[in-house]
Amino acid sequence: MAPSGSLVASLAGLLLLLLGAPWTYGRRSSVRVITDQNWRDLLQGDWMIEFYAPWCPACQNLQPEWESFAEWGEDLEVNVAKVDVTEQPGLSGRFIITALPTIYHCKDGEFRRYQGPRTKKDFINFVTDEEWKSIEPVSSWFGPGSVLMSSMSALFQLSMWIRTCHNYFIEDLGLPVWGSYTVFALITLLSGLLLGLCMIFVADCLCPSKRRRPQPYPSKKILPESSPPLKKVEEEQEADEEDVSEEEAESKGGANKDFPQNAVRQRSVGPSLATDNP
């Protein structure tokens, strides 16, 4: 009879464990998991969000308190959530997570960073006493929905993709480390060339350059602007020639006038000389 009693006891214990497992799982499911696909749910309602990593000792110590606080979420009318930064690097960049664990409070799209004690009681008091009103919200420029933070999220996702590819090249394909770096260097060069060509094409379409026709050799007929200087030079040359001709004419006229006077003097002087020499 004793063996049968122990068998019944063990079966009863197993049954209790099987029945208690869903209840325990249901309690843990009160903490919502936020990903890149559903993070915009945070923009509506009242939220408390924890950013953690499984390997972080401080995060591991916080998990029991966070789970207990999540059980009060329905009574406090606040949604309790968590984000695994190792699985969601884009959200860690979008919220600028520099330390773990990091806790944010969100009220209708306004995010405030919680920096108080990390106990269940303190979390409850923070929500019920509305202590979050004394904390300045994050600027809209650095909000998770801004263009700046969206770009930061894309960079974080790109870095994670590069890391995954690097591990694939080394572990699966068996490439050396320098070989993986060479592949990334070539990809960077090619992407830069393609991006530059695309930018030049877009700039040429938006602001096309004006094509200038070659100008012909300047001449008097085609370029009337060049004729006035030439005319002035010709007029000056003609004026100089006229001055020279006038001077020559005056010099000739003076010589002709002096000739008869000299002849008269010679004639008048000639007889006197004859009379003086008998």
Cβ within 8 Å of residue 48, ≥6 positions away: 69, 73, 78, 79, 80, 81, 103, 104, 105, 106, 114, 123, 127
pLDDT (tens, 9 = 90+) of the chain, 278 residues, equals: 444 555 444 544 444 444 443 433 344 458 999 998 899 899 888 999 999 999 999 999 999 999 999 999 888 899 999 999 988 888 888 888 888 999 999 998 899 999 999 999 999 999 999 898 899 988 878 778 778 877 877 777 777 788 788 888 888 888 888 888 888 888 888 888 898 889 888 888 888 776 666 666 555 444 454 455 556 666 777 766 666 666 666 666 555 555 445 444 444 444 443 444 44
Is 207 considered catalytic here? Answer: no
**Token output for 72:** 């009060």
Cα distances (Å, whole numbers) of residue 47 to 88, 125, 249: 18, 14, 115
- Contact between 75 and 27 under an 8 Å Cβ cutoff? The reply is no
End-to-end CA distance of the chain: 207
CA–CA separation, 104 and 47 (whole Å): 8
Is 165 considered catalytic here? Answer: no
Cα 19 versus chain centre, distance: 56
Backbone torsions φ then ψ of 78, nearest 5 degrees: -135, 140
Residue found under tokens 């006493």? 129
Catalytic residue among 59, 106, 198, 205: 59
Q: In what order do the strands lie in the sheet with 79-84?
A: 32-33, 79-84, 46-52, 102-107, 110-114
